[in-house]
Amino acid sequence: MAGRLKDRVAIVVGAGSSGPGWGNGKCTAITFAREGAKVMCVDLKRAAAEETAGLIQKEGGEAMAFEADSSKNAGVKAMVDACLGKWRRIDVLDNNVGIGSTGGPVELGEEEWDRVFDVNVKSFFLTAKHVLPVMERQGKGAIVNVSSIASIRAPRGVTYIAYNASKGAVNALTMAIASQYASKGIRCNAILPGLMHTPLIDFLAEQYARDEKDHNQAYDKMIAIRNKASPTGKMGTGWDTANAALFLASDEAAYVNGHLLVVDGGITTRA
Ligand SMILES: NC(=O)c1ccc[n+]([C@@H]2O[C@H](COP(=O)([O-])OP(=O)(O)OC[C@H]3O[C@@H](n4cnc5c(N)ncnc54)[C@H](O)[C@@H]3O)[C@@H](O)[C@H]2O)c1
């Protein structure tokens, strides 16, 4: 079933990845392009945006790379202007940026709390602010916000209160936009990925293993813990997130609005 986003223009914010391999945004940008969309690949890191756009172009798709900090109004406005300048419309907005910072209320500093909320929540507010008027003029559009199961569960073994709270805010933002814009032909949904094996996880596992005596063993241990925590015995991948994003962005989800789609192999079914 190819061509589900034929002739659509999509912006994927956070379309790069933290390292080599397949992150959620990178897989989503490529999946959208494979289904016919023209894709604007936006990232804080120019090289990461260019890498994803280059992969799409190599497959014969249409893509443009754009460097922007999505937590800043000027960057987001420039992104929307550039997209309209090139393709005249915006059909899909996929908000994929997200950062974490460990610590509970006592350990976490105020600046870190603000930084996580700026990237994880303000970004989604700003992109919606600039994209919604365009979608309203078109009478159609779909927004996909990448949240996390950390918005509905506090996972064992890791404390990151700002991440939990910021992703909870993403869910609330998603439902509020869905309700406000439903009558204008615009849908807004969220994906709640579980434990996904993305370059960000490799980076965190590397960091954790850095000071251990047997580096490789420590890295493998961290990855094995995450695999074991999943009921399927294996973490998900960026492609699982991308396939969910494709469904929510496409007309197949025409009557799906304000939904929080859990993509976690079943972890949240467990106590
Ligand atoms: N990997 C997981 O297990 C997992 C689980 C649940 C949710 N998520 C969510 O999925 C999303 C992507 O995760 P990933 O693992 O693919 O991460 P990733 O770090 O590999 O990719 C995110 C990309 O966003 C970019 N980015 C960060 N801040 C930005 C900003 N201010 N402006 C523009 N670009 C910015 C980064 O440069 C990076 O290329 C995040 O929202 C994350 O919270 C991931």
pLDDT tens for each residue of 174-187:
999 999 999 999 99
* Neighbouring-strand partners of residue 67: 43
Mean pLDDT value across residues 234-255: 98
Q: At residue 155, does pLDDT exceed 80?
A: no
Q: Distance, CA 160 to ligand 1 centroid (Å)? A: 15
Pick from 41, 55, 72, 96 the residue to mutate for probing ligand 1's pocket: most ligand atoms within 8 Å of its CB. 96
Contact 196, 96 (CB under 8 A): no
Q: At residue 1, does pLDDT exceed 80?
A: no
Q: Distance, CA 139 to ligand 1 centroid (Å)? A: 30
Q: Please report the pLDDT score of residue 209 as a whole number.
A: 86
Quote the tokens at residue 188: 């807004």
Is the CB of 141 inside a 6 Å radius of any atom of ligand 1?
A: no
- Helix ranges (H only) for 89-140 are 110-117, 123-138
Backbone φ and ψ of 236, nearest 5°: -80, -175
Q: At residue 216, does pLDDT exceed 80?
A: yes
Q: Please report the pLDDT score of residue 107 as a whole number.
A: 96
Is the backbone of residue 158 left (phi > 0), alpha (psi -120 to 50) or beta? beta
Nearest to 121 by CA among 170, 179, 174, 69: 170
Contact 42, 64 (CB under 8 A): no
Is the backbone of residue 134 left (phi > 0), alpha (psi -120 to 50) or beta? alpha
38-43 and 141-146 strand pairing: unpaired
What is the band of 203 on the pLDDT scale with cuts at 50, 70, 90? confident
Atom 7 in ligand 1: residue holding the nearest Cα? 148
In this prediction the pTM is 0.97
Q: Distance, CA 99 to ligand 1 centroid (Å)? A: 6
Q: Which atom of ligand 1 lies nearest, measured to the CA of 123?
A: 31
Is the CB of 193 inside a 6 Å radius of any atom of ligand 1?
A: yes
Q: Which atom of ligand 1 lies nearest, measured to the CA of 19?
A: 20
Nearest to 140 by CA among 201, 188, 192: 188
| pLDDT tens column, 49-103 | 999 999 999 999 999 999 999 999 999 999 999 999 999 999 999 999 999 999 9
Q: Which residues are designated catalytic?
A: 163
Q: Which atom of ligand 1 lies nearest, measured to the CA of 195?
A: 3
